[in-house]
Amino acid sequence: MRDLSALFDPFALNGLTLPNRIVMSPMGRNFADDGVQPHGFVDYFVRRVRGGVGLCIGEASRVDHPVASSDVMHAAFHGDAALAAWKDVVDAVHDAGGAFMPQLWHAGLLRPPASDHPQIPNAHLPPAGPSGWAEPLVHTTGWITPITRAAQIGVPMTESDIADVIDSFARAAADARRIGCDGVNIHGAHGYMIDQFFWDRTNRRDDGYGGDLIGRGRFAVELIRAVRAATAPDFPITFRWSQWKQQDYHCKIAHTPQELEMFLTPIAEAGVDLFDCSTRRFWEPEFEGSRLNLAGWTKKVTGVPTMTVGSVGLARSNWMDGEDFSLTDSGLASLDPLMERLEAGEFDLVGVGRMLISNPDWPKRLRAGQTDGIRPYSNAHLMTLE
């Protein structure tokens, strides 16, 4: 096995210094009771910090916009009870020597019509999105009824609607700072609200929030600026983005490095301290003619630090094309390709998901060379907050 010491170098992110490069990626667990996380989440995160994780990012948590979520089991990041539960997590993570950021999220048009799903908060209200256009999902996930074809299921958001959503993210970020979080992770990926503005198939607007790459990025730019204004200059803002969508694994917002630079530069300049670059398989090149992955290209064109993510440590990658979803387990894979890219400076942090579900002490085991004790991933491990 290649030397792993680079994984354990400290990293400075705006006003925050992380003890190593290993980040617990945001992973939706859906254990909330009307948006409030159970107390078991305290131990869930603390076990990962004691196991060597430098930064934990919470699961997608809805902002306080009335149609931000599609299920009462989704975590909320607003309201006294939900924020008190998150503060318990933050305090315990700090006591254990780690850092914590919530992930702020709005489902947009991946909130189905209320008639399809009785567990929707504020079920009497229609979903919101840039143009009202939704795309079909690739597969049925169990918590959302897939649209069978591209359809207009709502009306375009007005500029007042857009301002309301932006204000909701700003309030959530201010609350995160108030309860002691070490920054925020803004969810701009996977076909949710912010990403719906990015994608020309769901953003069919003809005003300043649509059209070309600059216009489709405007909503995110204004949102990030509002988050920065509501917090502080040294409060880390990380931004999760992806080319792929739940509706189209092969989608690309930017088809060339030049388009990527045009698209991401205004978003970076709005106040992003780190891009969390979501891919299904971290080792895949983003564009022909270069081995750089999405995190590598994002860092190259913006100069902003990046985090890679996508099946780290797993022999069976995430969301394989044509995947049989009854295949729920994965064996272990070499970290040599990851380390080669990290040592080359392609990205700065490494987001880890399923390996940390199955192995809360994965970083400590790696550092101690105790890889024989690492458990393969199984979906059975999702049934509890171990």
Domains, the chain, ordered by start: 5-383 (3.20.20.70)
DSSP annotation of 179: T
> What is the average per-residue pLDDT within 285-304?
98
Per-residue pLDDT of 122-178, as tens digits, reads 888 888 999 988 887 765 444 444 555 677 777 899 999 999 999 999 999 999 999
Q: Six-digit token pair at 215?
A: 């216009």
Output the pLDDT for position 381.
87
44 is catalytic: no
Contact partners, residue 135, CB within 8 Å, separation at least 6: 147, 150, 191, 201, 202, 245, 247, 248
Which of 44, 192, 209, 377 is catalytic? The answer is 192
d(CA 158, CA 139) in angstroms, rounded, equals 31
> What is the average per-residue pLDDT within 344-365?
96
pLDDT at 325 over 50: no
d(CA 242, CA 192) in angstroms, rounded, equals 11
Per-residue pLDDT of 64-77, as tens digits, reads 999 999 888 899 99
Residue scoring higher pLDDT (46 or 110) = 46
d(CA 277, CA 350) in angstroms, rounded, equals 10
> What is the average per-residue pLDDT within 346-368?
96
pTM given for the model? 0.94
Output the pLDDT for position 326.
46
